[in-house]
Amino acid sequence: MSFLAELWIPIVLSAVLVFVASSLIHMVIKWHNVDYRGLSNEDAVRAAIRAGNAAPGQYVIPYCADMKAMGSPEMQQKFAEGPCAFLTVRASGMPKMGSALGSWFGYVLLLGVIAGYLASHALPHGASVLQVCRVVSTVTFVAYCGGSVQYSIWMGKPWSSTSKDILDAIIYSAITGATFGYLWPH
């Protein structure tokens, strides 16, 4: 844990800078606003989900307990008729932005700790800005965008949305890498 004593400034500063960058992307630039659409029959869908008393969690439509059941004619008909969807149900009530933002900052901070740990074991004191930036940016890039790519592959998330997530990851990882690079111990 000695790396924390040496790298706490770039860890915290990069977390603050990524938090600010993500806030600007989501509240000023707003390029993610078009990633979500409303249903034309939203009220009916909401009523149907409420009537099913769905607890917060992840759901799939049509639901199939195992691969064997997927081969049944009834299940194949459900897939053919559609819709096919992945659904996340959250607790009712207004979103708790404070806890979500706190969790996001905690995640960004954790990524800085992990990147700092890996870089401290991979690079010597006095490594060049470019060497540090390369290692830290690569680690954080994978962390920031990996999940989004998986959602496009397995759950049908539109690639146009994932491409913006990848752009976000490039920005966040560049900020983190540069911060570590310039504040690396000599």
In a domain, 155, yes or no: yes
Structural domain count, the chain: 1
What pLDDT, on the 0 to 100 scale, is given for residue 1? 75
In a domain, 88, yes or no: no
What pLDDT, on the 0 to 100 scale, is given for residue 158? 95
Domain hosting residue 133, numbered range: 2-38+95-183
pLDDT tens by residue, 84-101: 999 999 999 999 999 999
In a domain, 82, yes or no: no
In a domain, 119, yes or no: yes
In a domain, 152, yes or no: yes
8 Å CB contact between 79 and 62: yes
Q: What is the chain's pLDDT, residue by residue, as a tens digit (186 residues)?
A: 789 999 999 999 999 999 999 999 999 999 999 999 999 999 999 999 999 999 999 999 999 988 888 889 999 999 999 999 999 999 999 999 999 999 999 999 999 999 999 999 999 999 999 999 999 999 999 999 989 999 999 999 999 999 999 999 999 999 999 999 999 998
In a domain, 6, yes or no: yes
CA distance 12 to 8: 6
In a domain, 138, yes or no: yes
In a domain, 158, yes or no: yes
What pLDDT, on the 0 to 100 scale, is given for residue 43? 97
CA distance 184 to 186: 6
